[in-house]
Amino acid sequence: MENNAAIKIFVGCDPNNSDLEQMMVLDYSVHKHTDTPVEIIWMQLSRDPESFWYSNPKAGEGWNTAKWATPFSGFRWAIPEYCNFEGRAIYMDADMVILDDIEALWQHPIEGQSIVAAKTKADMTRLCTCVWDCSKAEDTLLPIKQLRTDEDSHKKMMELIKKQPELIESYQDSYNCVDGEGLAIKDIKILHYSDMGTQFSHKYSIPRIEKEGSQHWFDGKIMPHPRPELSDLFDQYYQEALQAGYQLDDYRIEPFGSFPKKTHKRYKGNKITRPKAIKTVFSRLFKR
């Protein structure tokens, strides 16, 4: 397998400095567990026309985020072209705590027709932590121009992946452990605190950005996480990062400003953080 000199990790994050805490903890946790050189590329909407992530909503230029749930949902599909369809690249959302050597995920086999290694479960594929074989992806992914301008491009790519499961090399380890999934911390490789309403970083970021006169991009209801020991783990890594010399301002950029996206007013999280109540006999009979 041909490798890049450093592990390339592309991270989707907010362009208005709402995710600084997440970015710092992710950065620190990656380096805590590996001796391999790592290059992190923060994927954030930019007003710079020369940026790969350029967007000008008023002018209808660059990335169209109107139907995205996050400020970076569709960026993952552009990573292979960003890399000139060469080598490998890891993608992950910003809401991750790395608890194992990222080298193991980087080296994961991507064989046969597969273009990306990702988590699969039943009929669901999760590409919130995945490894691209950039050269193999070239003939499958939409061209960058369409990815940027078509407001449905993210949805189209997700539907394509679902229809062609042979494109996915399923990894069997917990490299995308969504909100704990009942696992002990020692068995988690990458903790993805995915439920946007229960994210551990909110208790730091919400007061900070309110003080700064801004608003968080998540506009849904904020709730406590059902596993306090995972919240404690985030706090531990947050403090360790600060003690190691990491600073929130290291990740701060000139704010992008407003951008169109889906609202989270009706956001329901996931079955792990918000298990559905047992249906009554009546509701089952009438499918309500």
Q: Are 15 and 62 in contact (CB under 8 A)?
A: no
Q: Could you report the per-residue pLDDT of 14-53, keeping only the tens digit for each? A: 999 999 999 999 999 999 999 999 999 999 999 999 999 9
User: 60: which 2 tokens?
Assistant: 């209808």
Greatest pairwise CA separation for the chain in angstroms: 60
The per-residue pLDDT for 277 is 41
Task: Give CA separation, 266 vs 32, 69, 73, 220, 276, in Å.
Answer: 37, 12, 18, 7, 15
Q: Please, where are the H alpha helices in the chain?
A: 20-32, 79-82, 102-106, 134-137, 144-149, 153-163, 202-211, 228-243, 281-285
Three-class SS of residue 43?
A: strand
**% of the chain with per-residue pLDDT over 90:** 82
Q: Long-range contacts of range 112-118, CB-CB < 8 Å, 24 or more positions apart?
A: 112/166, 112/169, 113/166, 113/167, 114/166, 114/167, 114/168, 114/169, 115/140, 115/167, 116/167, 116/168, 116/169, 117/168, 117/169, 117/170, 117/171, 118/168, 118/169, 118/170, 118/171, 118/176
Q: Are 91 and 12 in contact (CB under 8 A)?
A: yes
pLDDT band for 125, please (50, 70, 90 cuts).
low
Task: Give CA separation, 80 vs 44, 143, 163, 173, 178, in Å.
Answer: 17, 10, 20, 24, 25
Please tell me the distance from the alpha carbon of residue 12 to that of residue 256, in angstroms, as a whole number: 14
Nearest-CA neighbor of 51 among 68, 36, 63, 40?
63
Read off the amino acid at residue 67.
K
User: 271: which 2 tokens?
Assistant: 């079955």
The per-residue pLDDT for 255 is 96
Taking 70 as the threshold, does the pLDDT of residue 285 lie above it? Answer: no
Kindly provide the residue ranges of all beta strands, DSSP E only, lying in 79-210, ordered along the sequence. 88-93, 96-98, 116-121, 124-133, 168-170, 177-178, 190-192
Lowest mean pLDDT among 67-71, 137-141, 242-246, 266-270: 266-270
Domains, the chain, with CATH or none: 7-251 (3.90.550.10)
Give the pLDDT mean for 95-111.
97
Q: Could you report the per-residue pLDDT of 141-185, keeping only the tens digit for each? A: 999 999 999 999 999 999 999 899 999 999 988 999 999 999 999
Give the pLDDT mean for 66-88.
96
Give the pLDDT mean for 101-118.
97
The per-residue pLDDT for 265 is 87
User: 155: which 2 tokens?
Assistant: 């949805």
Please tell me the distance from the alpha carbon of residue 141 to that of residue 102, in angstroms, as a whole number: 25
Read off the amino acid at residue 110.
I
Please tell me the distance from the alpha carbon of residue 92 to that of residue 27, in angstroms, as a whole number: 12
Taking 60 as the threshold, does the pLDDT of residue 3 lie above it? Answer: no
The per-residue pLDDT for 4 is 52
pLDDT band for 95, please (50, 70, 90 cuts).
very high
Please tell me the distance from the alpha carbon of residue 228 to that of residue 198, in angstroms, as a whole number: 11
